[in-house]
Amino acid sequence: MVLKTYVARYKGGDKLFRALRFYGGDLSSQRFKGFINFMAKNEDFLDFSQVRPLWDYAQNQGIVSFKGRTLDNFLEGMENWHQDLAKNVNVKYEDWEGSGLGGYEEIRNEDNIETLYKIEEILNSVDLKREGKEMRHCVYSYVSRCRGGGTSIWTMKKVNEISKNNLLTIEIRGQDIVQVRGKCNRMAKDVEKKLIRAWAKKEGLKINLGSF
């Protein structure tokens, strides 16, 4: 049974379906069905950009039942988890093989300032932890996925004579870009989307992000 049928069963709309398209696991799992049901019930109050981070939180914490939860306390629990990840200073250094994909660089003139945008792969646990702390999200919990080779994590940075900033964290599975997040899980801005599209074209990647 396709994902859209499951979402419709729980009276979820098209926006929720698009927000759940990242999922590649067993559609019949009790955790995922419970999650869809919970999201559908709270759809009128939902920031759809938070659906994937909330699922990551549920998986990491072993949450199976969503009964008795409210959207507010679910979001609060996720934020507390992100803070705990950022506070954890005991990081074991691990590195892993690269995905074999190339990065991307583009120079733009912005307000008469030469600005370099670059996309680079993260290849060790310390840099992954630093990315999660800087961006205030849960990417550090992806260490085992990166080590296993099923997932690669990339960072987009903006560098000029004034500052150097992390803009986005990007998740790739195989040849598919499946997640793009800014600080505190914000969505990509228009200029950032253009850069990702150019990179995807260069490397033969598919952008699997719904209405990206």
76, 170 in Cβ contact below 8 A?
A: no
Question: pLDDT at position 1, please?
Answer: 56
Sort strands 113-121 and 104-110 into parallel, antiparallel or unpaired.
antiparallel
For 61, 112, 145, the CA distances from 141, given in Å and listed in that order, are 11, 39, 9
12, 40 in Cβ contact below 8 A?
A: yes
Q: Report d(CA 194, CA 178) in Å as an integer.
A: 16
Q: Report d(CA 179, CA 96) in Å as an integer.
A: 20
CA angle centred on 155, ends 124 and 183, rounded to 5°: 115
Among 128, 134, 137, 178, residue whose Cα is nearest residue 50 = 137
Which residues in the chain show pLDDT less than 70?
A: 1, 88-89, 210-211
